[in-house]
Structure 1
C-alpha cells in the first residue's frame, strides 16, 4: 500500500517540479558521480550563494522524488502521509506562485541538484524532472558503489554519463581530470568542457595542498586558472575530496561570472556535509575522523590516505562493510585491509564482509592481536570506547546500512551535539535498527 502511495506522491511532486522549473527558468546545475556528489553540491552552493538566490538538494536527496523535493526546498516526510500531503500543497503553491506578493521575486535563480544513479534508466528519469545547463561529474573509480545492479563498472559509468550526453551547445560539462572514466565522458557531449584536478593538464588545477590538524584544522591549497593563482583555506574540511569539491565549485563559479577572489572568499565558508571526513573531538582528548555516511572502495582508500596524513599517537580504523559492489566484494575488502595494515595501529572490522578486510590486514603483516571483528556497529562502539586513549585518531567508515555513525556518537566528547554534526540523526533513522 505504501509503495502505491509513494508512486502517487512522486508523480504529483515531479509534475509540480517540472512546472516550476519551466516557469522559473533557473540555471540548473546537475551533479553526478559515485563519490563526492554531496560535497561538491555543498561547495558549489557555498560559492553561488554569495551572489545568487540558490536552492540546493537537501542532505543527499538525489532520486526522482528527492529531486522534486529539492526543487521546492522540501524535506522528506518519510512514512507520514499528512507530511507528504503538506509537501504536495507546498509544491503546488510554489509552482503557481500562490503565496507571494510579486511573481518569482524569491524563486531560485540557480538550482544545485544531486543526481544519483542506482539502476539503469535512473538518469533519464532525473533529467525529465530538471535538465541541467551545467553538468558536473565528480569521480567514478574502478569499483563504484551500486555496481552490483549493472553488468559492470562501464555500464554504470555509461548511465551516469547520460547527464553529460544530454548537455547541448551553450551548456557546460565540468569533469574530473584525474578520473580516467570521468575524463573519457568528454567525447560524449557537444557542450563546452572544463576539467579540474591535481593533474597539470586540467583547466583548473589545485597545487600546494597541505593538511593541518592543529588549532586551524583544515586544508589549504592554491587554485590555478588561466595564469592566475589564488589561495584557499578550508576549515573543518579534510582530505583531497574536499579539494575536488572546491575545484568543481570554482568551475561552476567561473561559469556564473564570478572571479577567483570572490570564489576563494566564498569557499572559506564551505563545510563538508555530515559524515564526510569531518574531524571531531572525541573522548579522552582523542580525535574522530568521521567519514561514516557511506563507503565505496575509492572513498575508503581516500579516507585512509587522509588518516595517514594526520598526526596521532595511535591510529585506529573502524571499518564497516562496503555494500552493493557485487562480485568485487572480496577483493575490494581485502585491498582495504592491506592498506589499513600499512597505516593503522588497530583495525576494527564491522560486518561479515569486513572480515575479508581483517584477513587482508593480517596477511599484510598486521598483528592479529590488533585486529578485531564485530557483527554490528553497536558492539564495536563499546569496544572502541574502552580502547581509545588520549592522542588517538579514529577513522570511522562504512556503508550507510552499517550505521557506523553510532560508533562516532559513542566516542564524541560532546554527544549532545550529535544531531548537529553526525549523519542520520533524524527520527526515522534513530528509530531504525
Structure 2
C-alpha cells in the first residue's frame, strides 16, 4: 500500500499556506529529488549551501508532481498545489511526524557512534522471525533521510526499525519527534562528529534525546561493554537493558569463537535457556550488534531460538565489511565510512584472517575537529598492535596513522599516499595469493574507488567472488 495524504492534511501538518491548487488533491509519495518525481508526488525542494532545489519546481510538476512545498514563493497561480512554508526541511519533518502517528506499531530506534546500520539490519532480521518489519533503507538516518523513510510505513507492517544519526546539537530531539521510537538501542559512544559536539559527554547527552518520546513500557537497550554507556546503570529514569560480555549484562555472549569466515557465540538471557548464534561475518563488534538484536526481539515477544536462527541469514550491506576473494586475495570492503572505533573494529577483523600478509589501507576519518590527530595516531597504534604487516594511508590526516604505527613498531612497512589511485596502484604492485587487505575511510574519502580497482585485478585471470 502506498502512502496517502491529501494536500489539506499536508498543509495542516506543516502549518503551511496553500497558495493555489485543490486541497483535496491526493499525494501518494514524497520526494526531495526532482528526478524521482512520479504521478502523485509531493516535491520538497531543499535549499543547501551549494544548490537550491527550488529551481526544479516547474520540472517536478512537469514530471507529474501533485503538489510541492516552497519557501521562496508567497503568491502563485497554477492548477497544481503550491504550499508555502517557512522551511521546507522542517516542513518535511512535520509532515513525516504526522504520517508516522497513523501507525501504532512498535518502532525501534537505533543510534550510536558506530555500528548503527549493522545493528539496524540485524534487529530487523531478528524481529522478522515474528513480525512483518519495515526498516530504513541503507543509512537513511539523517534530518532528511529519516523523515522520508516514515512514508514507507504501511498497514501491512507490524514493527519498524529505524536508524537515527546525528552530527550536531538539537538533531536527535527533532528525529525523535518524527519517529517516536518506543524502544531504542545505543550501540556505543565514540568521538564521531566530536568536531561539532565538542565532548563525549555532549554526544551522550544529545543521543539520549532518542528517548524524548518514550512512554510507559519503553526500553533503552545499551551496550554494557562501552564504559560511558555502562555508567548509565540506574541513572536513565526508564527501563534499561544491557547487553555485552560483562557478567552483569542482561544479555550476555559467552564462548565466542571464530572459524573460517563465521563468528559463533552462546547468548545467555535472564530466565531463558541459552541459544547458539552463528553469524556469517567476522568481528567482536558483530557479536555486540547481534546481542542488541536478540535483546530487542526477545522483549517484543520473538522466541530467542527463532531470532538467533534468523541472524544466520545476515549479509553485510555494500561497503560494510563485505569480503571478496580476488585471485586468492581476500579484500575486506569496509569503505562506506569510518570513525576511530569502527576502524579499530575493522582492524580486529583483519587480524582474524589466516593470511599470508595482512594489509590495511586507512584513509582520513573526518569531522573529528581538534581530536583528529590523536584519534588517527591511536588507530595507527591499534594497527601495529593487531599485527598489520603493511599499512597504507591516504589523505593528510591519515599520516598520523603511520606515525602511530611506527611508535609501536618502528620497522613496520608504512606507505603514505595523497590519493586513492596512488594507493590502488601500489596495492596492485605487491599483493599476492594468500594476502588479506582491509580498505576503510570516511565516506568523503571515496575509498570504494580503491576496492573497485582491486576487484578488477588482475583483469585477465582469476575470479572475483563474494564470501559465502
TM range (shorter): 0.7 to 0.9
Which among 409, 416, 436 is matched to residue 365 of structure 1? Answer: 409
Where 2:449 maps in the other structure, the secondary structure is: helix
Tell me which residue corresponds to 1:245.
289
- Once structures 1 and 2 are overlaid, which stretch shifts more, 377-386 or 178-187? 178-187
What per-residue deviation string (whole Å, max 9, x for no partner) do you get for residues 328-353 of structure 1?
Answer: 11122112222222311111010001
| Displacement after TM superposition at 1:322 (Å) | 1.2
What per-residue deviation string (whole Å, max 9, x for no partner) do you get for residues 259-317 of structure 1?
Answer: 111111111111222222222212x3100122211111111111112221221010101
- Once structures 1 and 2 are overlaid, which stretch shifts more, 217-226 or 171-180? 217-226
| Compared CA separation, residues 40 and 171, structure 1 to 2 (3 A) | same
Where 1:219 maps in the other structure, the secondary structure is: strand
C-alpha distance in 2, partners of 1:11/1:45? 28
Tell me which residue corresponds to 2:275.
230
Tell me which residue corresponds to 1:82.
none
Tell me which residue corresponds to 2:353.
310
**Residues 165 and 189, structure 1, Cα contact 8 Å, conserved in 2:** no
Structure 2 segments unaligned to the other structure (5+ residues): 1-45, 55-70, 72-86, 460-464
Tell me which residue corresponds to 2:109.
30
**Residues 379 and 404, structure 2, Cα contact 8 Å, conserved in 1:** yes
Which among 407, 431, 434 is matched to residue 388 of structure 1? Answer: 431
C-alpha distance in 1, partners of 2:168/2:235? 20
| Displacement after TM superposition at 1:151 (Å) | 2.6
**Residues 176 and 211, structure 2, Cα contact 8 Å, conserved in 1:** no
Tell me which residue corresponds to 1:299.
342
Structure label with greater radius of gyration: 2
Which among 139, 144, 151 is matched to residue 188 of structure 2? Answer: 139
Q: Normalising by the residue count of structure 2, what TM-score does the alignment of the two structures yield?
A: 0.77
Tell me which residue corresponds to 1:271.
315
Q: Normalising by the residue count of structure 1, what TM-score does the alignment of the two structures yield?
A: 0.83
Which among 134, 138, 161 is matched to residue 59 of structure 1? Answer: 138
**Residues 100 and 151, structure 2, Cα contact 8 Å, conserved in 1:** no
The answer to which structure, 1 or 2, has the higher relative contact order (CA under 8 A, 6+ apart) is 1
C-alpha distance in 2, partners of 1:375/1:172? 46
| Displacement after TM superposition at 1:164 (Å) | 3.4
Greater fraction helix: 1
C-alpha distance in 1, partners of 2:236/2:213? 7
| Compared CA separation, residues 186 and 67, structure 1 to 2 (3 A) | farther
Where 2:264 maps in the other structure, the secondary structure is: strand
Where 1:228 maps in the other structure, the secondary structure is: coil
For residues 86-101 of structure 1, what are the structure 2 equivalents within 5 Å? none
| Compared CA separation, residues 175 and 165, structure 1 to 2 (3 A) | farther
Where 1:126 maps in the other structure, the secondary structure is: helix
| Displacement after TM superposition at 1:114 (Å) | 0.8
Structure 1 segments unaligned to the other structure (5+ residues): 74-93, 95-103, 422-433
**Residues 182 and 213, structure 2, Cα contact 8 Å, conserved in 1:** no
C-alpha distance in 2, partners of 1:393/1:323? 25
C-alpha distance in 2, partners of 1:361/1:190? 43
| Displacement after TM superposition at 1:105 (Å) | 4.1
Where 1:372 maps in the other structure, the secondary structure is: strand
| Compared CA separation, residues 414 and 169, structure 1 to 2 (3 A) | farther
| Displacement after TM superposition at 1:186 (Å) | 4.5
**Residues 349 and 355, structure 1, Cα contact 8 Å, conserved in 2:** yes
Tell me which residue corresponds to 1:119.
168
C-alpha distance in 1, partners of 2:169/2:433? 48
Which among 373, 377, 389 is matched to residue 330 of structure 1? Answer: 373
Q: CA RMSD in A?
A: 2.5
Tell me which residue corresponds to 2:220.
173
| Displacement after TM superposition at 1:365 (Å) | 2.4
C-alpha distance in 2, partners of 1:165/1:129? 11
Where 1:178 maps in the other structure, the secondary structure is: coil
**Residues 337 and 441, structure 2, Cα contact 8 Å, conserved in 1:** yes
**Residues 168 and 191, structure 1, Cα contact 8 Å, conserved in 2:** no
1:191 counterpart = 2:234: no
